A and B are shown apart, each in its own frame.
Chain A
Amino acid sequence: GAGVSQSPSNKVTEKGKDVELRCDPISGHTALYWYRQRLGQGLEFLIYFQGNSAPDKSGLPSDRFSAERTGESVSTLTIQRTQQEDSAVYLCASSRLREGYTFGSGTRLTVV
C-alpha cells in the first residue's frame, strides 16, 4: 500500500485480556519495527524484523509481549494478560535497509 497501515486505531480492553495489534508495512520494505509511546514520552523500541533473519526482541518489556511477521508482510504484536501499564500508543514502522522509517498512525491501547 501507499503507507504503513495499523489496526485497530483504538483498542480498549479489560485488564487480564489478550490483545493483538496488526501492522501492514509498505510493500518492498524488508524491515519492520514496533515501538511503544506512553503519553508525553518518546518512542520505546520493542522489536525489529529484517527479512528472514531472527527478529531482534531486545526491547520487549516482558514475556507477555510477542510479535510475529509473515515473510516481509504483515506483523502482529500480541500482548497477553494486559496490565494497566501497557496502556500506550503502539507504533509500527517499515523501511528498506538503512533508510528512513515510515511510521503508521499507531494503535492507542487503553487497559481498564
Chain B
Amino acid sequence: GESVGLHLPTLSVQEGDNSIINCAYSNSASDYFIWYKQESGKGPQFIIDIRSNMDKRQGQRVTVLLNKTVKHLSLQIAATQPGDSAVYFCAPFSGNTPLVFGKGTRLSVIA
C-alpha cells in the first residue's frame, strides 16, 4: 500500500515569510498528487494538484514541486498569512485506489 511521510510534523513561520512543507511517498506508480489544507473543525480542502508529467505547478501564492526521482513533493506558500495556519496533507493517487493520507504537517503562522 501507499506510505506517505512528512518530514516535519509542525512548522512555525513568521507572517510574511515563505513556507515549505515537504512530503515523501513510496509508490513509484503514483501519477497524480493533491495537497489538502485542513483548518480546525473543518474537512480537508483541495489546494492544488499536480500530475506526474509535470514537475512544477503554480497557483495563487502556492507552488507544488514534484521530484519523481526521489519520490518527493513540496508545497511552497508565499508570503504566509495567519489564515494559512492549518494542517496540510499530501495525497498521492495510485490507480483507482482510495487516497492515503499521512498525519499531516501543522503550519503555525506567527504574527
Q: Give A98 to B32 CA distance when docked, in angstroms.
A: 9
Which residues does chain A contribute within 8 Å of B103, judged by CB atoms? 41-42
Q: Which residue of A lies closest to B44 (CB)?
A: A103
Q: Is the CB of A100 within 8 A of B42?
A: no
Which residues does chain A contribute within 8 Å of B99, judged by CB atoms? 33, 45, 101
Q: Is the CB of A91 within 8 A of B43?
A: yes
Is A105 in contact with chain B by the CB < 8 A criterion? yes
Contacts across chains A and B counted by CB atoms under 8 Å: 46
Which residues does chain B contribute within 8 Å of A93, judged by CB atoms? 43
Q: Give A43 to B89 CA distance when docked, in angstroms.
A: 9
Is A65 in contact with chain B by the CB < 8 A criterion? no
Q: A43-B44, A105-B42 are in contact. Are A98 and B89 (CB under 8 A)?
A: no
Which residues does chain A contribute within 8 Å of B98, judged by CB atoms? 33, 45, 48, 56, 59
Which residues does chain A contribute within 8 Å of B101, judged by CB atoms? 35, 42-43
Q: Is the CB of A98 within 8 A of B93?
A: yes
Q: Is the CB of A42 within 8 A of B49?
A: no
Is B92 in contact with chain A by the CB < 8 A criterion? no
Which among A56, A91, A100 is the interface contact of B34 at CB below 8 angstroms? A100
Is B100 in contact with chain A by the CB < 8 A criterion? yes
Q: Quick one: CB contact mask for B63-96 with A, threshold 8 Å, 1 for yes?
A: 0000000000000000000000000010001001
Q: Is the CB of A100 within 8 A of B45?
A: no
Which residues does chain A contribute within 8 Å of B89, judged by CB atoms? 42-43
What is the distance, in angstroms, from B77's C-beta to the closest C-beta of chain A? Answer: 19
Q: Give A43 to B103 CA distance when docked, in angstroms.
A: 7
Q: Which residue of A lies closest to B9 (CB)?
A: A40
Which residues does chain B contribute within 8 Å of A42, judged by CB atoms? 89, 101-104
Which residues does chain B contribute within 8 Å of A25, judged by CB atoms? none
Residues of B within 8 A of A (CB): 32, 34, 36, 41-46, 49, 89, 93, 96-104
Chosen A-B contacts, 5 in total, with CB atoms closer than 8 Å, are: A43-B101, A91-B43, A93-B43, A100-B49, A105-B42
| 7 A-B pairs closest in CB distance | A103-B43, A43-B101, A42-B103, A48-B98, A42-B101, A100-B46, A103-B44
